Amino acid sequence: MMSWLPLIVIALAVLLASARLSRAPRPAPLRLGVLLLLQLLAAALLYFTLLPPERPGQAETLVIATRGATATQLAAQPAAIQLRLPEAPQLAGAAPVPDLATALRQHPGARALVIVGDGLPARDRDLPLPPLQFVPGPAPRGLVELQAPPPLAPGARFSVGSRVQGLAQVRLELRDPAGHRVAIATPDTDGRVRLHASARAPGDVAFSLRVLDGTGKVLDQLPVPVRVREVPAPTLRLLAAAPGPELKYLQRWASDTGARLQTGIQVGGGVQLGDAPQALDAASLARLDLLLLDERRLAALSSAQRGVLTEAMRTGLGVLVRMGGPLEGNARRALHDWGLVTRGGEQTGPLKLPGDSRAGDTASSTSLPALERFRLEIEDEAAVPLLHAADGSGIGAWRALGQGRLGLLPVSDSYTLVLAGHGDRHAELWNQVLATLARPLPAAPLSPLPAWGWSGEHNTLCDLPAGAQVIAPDGRRSDLLPDPQAGHCSGWWPTRPGWHTLTAGDTQAGVLLLDPAHARALHAQQTREATFALRGHAGRGGGVPVPVPGPRWPWLLAFVLVASLLWWLERRRSIETPSP
């Protein structure tokens, strides 16, 4: 439509001018014909000046210098057009361009790209590109991966994953927001490491992940976003066939976590300690998040109670069978009916739990007391270890049953952790059990949000509810508008690093934006991998030159000459026929 608009305007101008010439008094036929012909010629020349005819483009290879590119890399490329993006250093022979899109517009005949340096920034990676070759520089050295934990409940244990590249004989430590070391470990042969810690009070905080050399010098560091969301206090019911110290410290743990706990502990003769007895029916189980049974209370359940319990698990209830002794026949049959097939468990052995890794895994595990563990085998492919020992072996198991989960814990004396001065480790153990088995919470509207992103770059947020907004660290609000080209995603280009809060109705979630200048190795590695991923996914045809507009100056020169001749003829006519 745009190419037709100039033609229509020029045609109307020619018609009006022709009508004016035809109405002139006593026009000479020869003179009138020459003027009309010159007007048509001028109109045609003006059109081709504005829209010159296309000609076949020249097939070109563009060499694009990015951040970290060197003159040696450019010199190693065959003769081609050399350009540099704003992030690239000053390089002789490479013309500057503001972005890759501008470079492609200036050279529409480009049949291939050669990217040298660290790679294309996020700004230039969403374009339809011709076939691309990437010639990277040296691999970045430092922390090149960051696996932050998902949103957590207060007290939950979490892990942080990372990878060190190009640094040998180093250790990685994790520090909490107060600067206290909470974990330290040595990377494996691939440079990978996973550190563990516990969440605290609700809120968004940044831990610190550091790489240390043999002398303790910090070689690289990254902030680790830890998002602890406030969750409703869980409702637990504890049923046991006899009192004991394990139950005492379980009740204390539940009280410390703010859980609503109902207890029913039998002491013989039909007497029960704790709360008023409640029936195991559908209504009461629907109000629970986790039911804790010992093996004797499980064996004493009637078939009707097992059926009600089965239906409650299918609708989301979590059930934990805590072993205080060997499993009886009825208990094994109940577990078998629920999908957990067990073998053994009559004998016990020592159990070492993973310790506090602030002093190193081996030393800290040695400081923990050995627990009593029933030697029980789970013969179920769908079962997942409930916990892990210091040697990596599984402790107990759990499996899904409908929307709920069933767990079996063959440990009878976790309370000795508290007696030995490791109350925090006891709480971590039971918090992990609770987080694994308890009734799942409804998904938050902002739960798909990533834990972190980059400031100064385009970030993509998907599956956001309508009306989502973002609050910057300075308090400014901005709307997140959906991108019609990206499905259910919105584009976001923040300019400030730090914690940003995304809101949707009454729901809020935090995203930590990192400054690329303060996480150079991680940013360089991501840029490098994203540029490698562009190879083989070209969106523009390569090898066939794209037609380009021809030169305008010949048409403009001819138009000026014809228009000047028209003016001279019109001027001469006005002199020869003076007005009366």
Comparison of pLDDT for 200 and 307, the residue scoring more: 307
pLDDT band at 162 (very low <50, low <70, confident <90, very high): very high
Q: Residues 409, 312: one domain?
A: yes
Do residues 32 and 532 lie in contact, with contact meaning Cβ atoms separated by under 8 Å? no
Q: Is 368 helix (H, G, I), strand (E, B) or coil?
A: coil
* Rounded Cα–Cα distance for residues 21 and 570 (Å): 10
What is the number of other CB atoms lying within 10 angstroms of the CB of residue 193? 24
Task: Name the token pair of 392.
Answer: 């990596």
Q: Residues 302, 357: one domain?
A: yes
* Rounded Cα–Cα distance for residues 76 and 73 (Å): 5
φ, ψ of residue 137 to 5 degrees: the values are: -85, -165
φ, ψ of residue 60 to 5 degrees: the values are: -130, 155
The pLDDT assigned to 486 comes to 62
Taking 60 as the threshold, does the pLDDT of residue 579 lie above it?
A: no
Q: Residues 543, 558: one domain?
A: no
Whether residue 184 is contained in a domain is answered as no
Taking 50 as the threshold, does the pLDDT of residue 363 lie above it?
A: no
Which CATH number do you get for residue 296?
3.40.50.880
Structurally, how many domains does the chain consist of?
4
DSSP letters along 21-80, please? HHTSSS--HHHHHHHHHHHHHHHHHHHHHHSPPEEPPPPEEEEEE-TT--HHHHHTSPS-
pLDDT band at 49 (very low <50, low <70, confident <90, very high): confident
Q: Residues 419, 555: one domain?
A: no
SS3 helix, strand, coil % of the chain, rounded to 5?
30, 30, 40
> What proportion of the chain, given as a percentage, has pLDDT over 70?
90
Q: Residues 421, 480: one domain?
A: no
Do residues 372 and 350 lie in contact, with contact meaning Cβ atoms separated by under 8 Å? yes
pLDDT digits (tens, 9 = 90+) for 462-489: 878 877 889 999 889 988 877 766 667 8
Q: Residues 284, 360: one domain?
A: yes
Whether residue 188 is contained in a domain is answered as no
* Rounded Cα–Cα distance for residues 250 and 327 (Å): 21
Q: Residues 366, 477: one domain?
A: no
Whether residue 180 is contained in a domain is answered as no
* Rounded Cα–Cα distance for residues 269 and 265 (Å): 12
* Rounded Cα–Cα distance for residues 41 and 259 (Å): 90
- Average pLDDT of 24-50? 77
Whether residue 145 is contained in a domain is answered as no
Question: Any idea which of 115-129, 290-304, 547-561 has the lowest mean pLDDT?
Answer: 547-561
Domain range enclosing 371: 235-437
Q: What is the mean pLDDT of the chain?
A: 86
The pLDDT assigned to 353 comes to 87
Q: Is 560 helix (H, G, I), strand (E, B) or coil?
A: helix
What is the number of other CB atoms lying within 10 angstroms of the CB of residue 576? 7
The pLDDT assigned to 513 comes to 95
Whether residue 447 is contained in a domain is answered as no
pLDDT digits (tens, 9 = 90+) for 330-353: 999 999 999 999 998 889 999 998
Show which of 368, 402, 437 is a domain's final residue: 437
* pTM, to two decimals: 0.73
Write down the H helix ranges in 219-357: 245-257, 282-286, 295-299, 303-314, 329-337
Whether residue 207 is contained in a domain is answered as no
φ, ψ of residue 276 to 5 degrees: the values are: -60, 135
Which CATH number do you get for residue 477?
2.60.40.10
Q: Residues 492, 421: one domain?
A: no
Q: Residues 419, 557: one domain?
A: no
pLDDT band at 362 (very low <50, low <70, confident <90, very high): very low
Taking 90 as the threshold, does the pLDDT of residue 401 lie above it?
A: yes
Q: Residues 34, 74: one domain?
A: no
Q: Residues 291, 374: one domain?
A: yes
Long-range CB pairs of 150-153, under 8 A, 24+ apart, other chains included: 150/227, 150/451, 151/227, 151/228, 151/229, 151/444, 151/447, 151/509, 152/199, 152/226, 152/227, 152/228, 152/229, 153/199, 153/228, 153/229, 153/231, 153/431, 153/435
Q: Residues 329, 429: one domain?
A: yes
Whether residue 196 is contained in a domain is answered as no
Taking 90 as the threshold, does the pLDDT of residue 119 lie above it?
A: yes
Show which of 405, 437, 469 is a domain's final residue: 437
199: left (phi over 0), alpha (psi -120 to 50) or beta: beta
pLDDT band at 570 (very low <50, low <70, confident <90, very high): confident
Whether residue 413 is contained in a domain is answered as yes
Taking 80 as the threshold, does the pLDDT of residue 457 lie above it?
A: yes
Task: Name the token pair of 289.
Answer: 């998040």
